[in-house]
């Protein structure tokens, strides 16, 4: 078959690009080296039969609220996509043994905050109520190609609608650290910890400049809209995307490793597979891979390499998947069992300490845990009466130089991953006494395992590149390449390593596809 476009890598951005291109009449082939498509959006029975675990991404809110989903909603739903709305989105256990949680009932959330600080409750309420008018401008900004006339128009509309003071306040937030921005708005350490935990989802410790945006957006979006999970698992998105591509005459091939991208007279002409077969693309080759891989083996280690090839990884992540015969009994409150996420990140100081240790190459003495309880909202993921627990351990070193607690002696993840998982679960046991007695099976994935399973996650960085200011906005993956172009004609780069970064919103793949075909 003559392919209009070949997509290398079946992550959510590559699949989204293929869906949109196929909707415009292109014949698209997606090549995936692994046995299963989806990249970081996969679900599998890795502990016991009948227990379905999201291997990496669990929260699909960005996908559910994305322009891509709005455009292709009907086709995806007809292809079997199922989303589960969640009202009780996230919560935190706090340093004073208390807790806070956010659900879509604003009165409930503010009542919890008011019990700690009445002024903060009023601030939260005002911020949440203003978000409905503010969010369209912020999401338009984050969803614009950068740079572009679309971005300029959106900034102009923002200025006209909101005024210069609001725009300057927003610009200040974009540059602020989580700690500084939170301290300027909230008095209670618990409220600051509740919101600040979202920073570590995107490599922003409390004192890293540029990290304030994400705690604000995630907190207010969850307050106003709730969260979305995949029915039966996050892979409902992947399966629907693949089906839509196939229905349009495209194809998604697994076990199809690409050895190199073929270039003729400065233009990408197709790919050569690991088995020696060559496939041609008449219009585009789209690489849904980390720039280091693209400008390395796939393009023959060109010298000099573009700046994008030097994109810096963020810290590593460990995943612990648990099959349980009962939900955790949270010490702070039984109410915590209602939330999709429970952050074990008790204070900004604790988060900062963990991050500093990890960036120094040390195994943190007390890791930050993101505990997902998906079966609270979707019982189909486990046998009747049973549960799965999704534990993300953030943040960790890729290369281990030592242990901040002085207890673990090994220096290689294959040697020490179970010992470190034991530390994480011991911490969880402190906040949910008796949990270990309810564990039927566990599956531990170290940062090194993450990279082995998905080479885009260099060093176990689940974000495929740090989101610090020098690698964000116009600088993701490098200045001059933020619009998915490469130095090779007809070759494009999408994925979490490119603007607008990590998450399940499928933004870079969709925006590139619209650039190509409208």
What is the architecture, at CATH level 2, of domain 3-84+233-311+464-517?
Answer: 3-Layer(bba) Sandwich (3.50)
Q: What is this structure's pTM?
A: 0.96
List strand residue ranges (DSSP E) for 349-406, in order: 362-363, 368-372, 387-396, 402-403
pLDDT, tens digit, 9 for 90 and up, residues 312-342:
999 999 999 999 999 999 999 999 999 999 9
Q: Is the pLDDT of residue 484 over 80?
A: yes
205 φ, ψ (degrees, to nearest 5): -70, 165
Please state, in angstroms and rounded to a whole number, the distance separating the CA atoms of residues 191 and 304: 48
| Per-residue confidence (pLDDT) for residue 367, from 0 to 100 | 97
pLDDT of 147 higher than 60? yes
Per residue in 95-107, pLDDT (tens digit) is 999 999 999 999 9
In the predicted structure, residue 182 carries a pLDDT above the cut 70: yes
Per-residue pLDDT averaged across 366-386, rounded?
A: 98
Is the per-residue pLDDT at 303 higher than 60? no
Cα(102)–Cα(100) distance, integer angstroms: 7
pLDDT band, residue 306 (cuts 50/70/90): confident
Question: For the residues 263-268, what does the mean pLDDT come to?
Answer: 94
268 - beta bridge partners? 263
Taking only the tens place, the pLDDT of each residue in 396-439 is 999 999 999 999 999 999 999 999 999 999 999 999 999 999 99
d(CA 181, CA 172): 9
How many angstroms separate the CA atoms of 120 and 475, rounded?
35
pLDDT score for 130: 97
Distance between CA atoms of 220 and 93, rounded to whole angstroms? Answer: 19
Structure tokens at 84: 């589960």
Q: Give mean pLDDT, residues 469-479.
A: 96
What was the pLDDT predicted at 300? 86
At 358, list the tokens: 């990890």
The whole-angstrom separation of Cα 99 and Cα 80 is 37
| Tens-place pLDDT, residues 43-56 | 999 999 999 999 99
Average pLDDT for residues 169-174, to the nearest whole number? 96
Show me where the domains of the chain are located: 3-84+233-311+464-517
45: which 2 tokens? 């029975």
User: Do residues 203 and 47 make contact, with C-beta atoms less than 8 angstroms apart?
Assistant: no
Percentages helix, strand, coil for the chain, rounded to the nearest 5? Answer: 40, 20, 35
Cis peptide before 489 (omega within 30 of 0): no
User: H or E element: which one contains 425?
Assistant: helix 413-431
d(CA 281, CA 263): 11
pLDDT score recorded for residue 302: 61
Per-residue pLDDT tens digits for 486-508: 999 999 999 999 999 999 999 99
Q: Inform me whether the pLDDT recorded for 62 exceeds 70.
A: yes
With a pLDDT cut of 70, the percent of the chain lying above it is 99
């Amino acid at each position: 078959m003559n392919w209009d476009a070949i997509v290398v890598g079946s992550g959510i951005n590559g699949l989204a690009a293929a869906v949109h291109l196929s909707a415009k009449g292109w014949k698209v082939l997606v090549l995936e080296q692994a046995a299963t498509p989806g990249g970081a959006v996969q679900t599998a029975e890795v502990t016991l039969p009948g227990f379905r675990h999201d291997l990496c991404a669990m929260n699909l809110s960005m996908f559910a609220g994305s322009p891509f989903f709005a455009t292709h909603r009907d086709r995806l739903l007809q292809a079997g996509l199922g989303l589960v709305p969640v009202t009780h989105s996230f919560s935190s256990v706090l340093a004073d043994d208390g807790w806070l949680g956010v659900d879509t009932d604003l009165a409930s959330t503010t009542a919890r905050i008011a019990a700690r600080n009445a002024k903060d409750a009023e601030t939260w309420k005002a911020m949440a109520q203003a978000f409905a008018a503010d969010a369209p401008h912020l999401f338009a900004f984050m969803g614009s190609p950068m740079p572009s006339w679309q971005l300029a128009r959106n900034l102009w509309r923002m200025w006209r609608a909101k005024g210069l003071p609001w725009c300057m306040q927003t610009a200040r937030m974009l540059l602020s650290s989580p700690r500084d921005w939170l301290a300027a708005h909230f008095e209670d350490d618990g409220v600051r910890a509740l919101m600040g935990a979202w920073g570590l989802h995107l490599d922003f410790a409390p004192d890293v400049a540029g990290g304030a945006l994400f705690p604000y957006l995630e907190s207010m979006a969850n307050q106003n809209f709730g969260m979305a999970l995949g029915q039966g698992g996050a892979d409902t998105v992947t399966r629907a995307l693949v089906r839509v591509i196939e229905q349009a005459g495209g194809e998604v091939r697994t076990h199809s490793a690409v050895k190199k991208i073929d270039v003729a007279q400065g233009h990408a002409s197709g790919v050569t597979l690991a088995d020696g077969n060559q496939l041609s693309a008449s219009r585009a080759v789209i690489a849904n891979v980390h720039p280091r891989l693209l400008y390395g083996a796939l393009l023959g280690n060109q010298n000099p390499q573009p700046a994008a090839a030097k994109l810096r990884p963020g810290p590593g992540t460990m995943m612990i998947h648990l099959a349980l015969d009962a939900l955790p009994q949270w010490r702070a409150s039984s109410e915590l069992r209602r939330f999709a996420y429970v952050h074990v990140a008790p204070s900004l100081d604790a988060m900062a300490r963990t991050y500093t240790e990890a960036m120094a190459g040390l195994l943190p003495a007390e890791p930050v845990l993101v505990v997902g309880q998906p079966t609270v909202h979707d019982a189909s993921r486990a046998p009747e009466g049973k549960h799965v627990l999704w534990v993300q351990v953030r943040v960790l070193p890729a290369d281990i130089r030592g242990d901040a607690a002085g207890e673990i002696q090994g220096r290689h993840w294959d040697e020490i991953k179970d010992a470190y998982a034991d530390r994480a679960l011991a911490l969880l046991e402190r906040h949910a006494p008796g949990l270990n007695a309810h564990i039927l099976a566990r599956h531990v994935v170290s940062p090194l395992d993450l990279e082995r399973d998905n080479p885009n996650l260099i060093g176990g960085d689940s974000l495929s590149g740090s989101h610090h200011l020098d690698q964000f906005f116009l600088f993701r993956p490098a200045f001059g390449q933020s619009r998915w172009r490469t130095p090779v004609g007809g070759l494009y780069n999408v994925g979490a390593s490119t603007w607008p970064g990590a998450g399940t919103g499928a933004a870079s793949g969709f925006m590139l596809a619209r650039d190509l075909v409208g």
